[in-house]
Amino acid sequence: MALALNCESDLMSRHGGKDALQRNVQRMQRAIPRQRGEEVPSRPDSPRSGGSSPRNGSPPKGAYHKVKLEIEVVKASDIPDAAILATCDPYVIVSIVDGNPLQDSKALKDFEEWRALHEQWSGQTRVIEGTRDPDFRARFRAEVRNRETTHIHFRLLDQDNISHADRNIGQAVLPLQDLFDDSWAAVRAIALRPMDRKDAHAWAAISKTRLHVAVTWEGILGKVKSEERLRAAAHWKAGATHAKRAQRKANEEGTGEGLLDFFT
């Protein structure tokens, strides 16, 4: 009986040791840094950023840091009058996009299609009815990928309950890279551009219109490498490795000099 108990105790001890070993291995695997471009899966209880989810599916390969943004849309001022017998009911759509919609020809041609392919996150203020100087006091939080071309895109619109589409008043962009000196931590006024940059009347109508915003951030400073720069760096590294091997072989044979001059 004592022998059986000892065997059972020894077996349980071995199983316990095996379980402990497996747990330690799992901890070590979680602690190993992931390869560049591979995102660490979030825990089920981890908070997610506000706004809509990314529309362009899986992120492209590359080294992209995530940045937490807090965007405050305080107010708008001097919005042009609405059409006759209509009130001005403004609101703002804030988007995080990869690219500049004010310069990209595809965005200028079909903004909604371009937006569906380039948007990381979006949010919207409430509609303020019957005013040309709305006080939004809206605050958004988003966690986005810090790419070289990432912009915050602001669009000021006027809700129209009669027609099929709301009136586009103006838009503005803020490059994400411009945030890292904290120059946008305090509220600043942004001049707007019309959706149709060739419309002289629209330019004149919003010449005094301003959107007052503030943006703070939390994350990793500085620019990140684009896919092209990463590929170029990998190509250069491969070339340097090949040259070093050739140099060693030449040294062994005593027939070559200066093969590494290009890479040093």
The ranges assigned to domains in the chain are 65-218, 227-254
Cα gap 140→122, rounded to integer Å: 9
pLDDT of residue 76: 98
d(CA 210, CA 78): 7
- Whether the CA torsion 174, 177, 178, 183 is positive or negative: it is positive
Query: Which residues does 29 contact at the CB level (< 8 Å), separation at least 6?
Result: none
**Whole-structure pTM value:** 0.62
- The structure tokens listed for 116 are 């569906």
pLDDT at 59: 46
What is the three-class DSSP state of 229? helix
**Which regions in the chain score pLDDT beneath 50?**
3, 5, 11-12, 29-59, 259-260, 262-263
Does the 65-218 domain belong in CATH 2.60.40.150?
yes
User: How many whole angstroms separate alpha carbon 153 and alpha carbon 190?
Assistant: 12
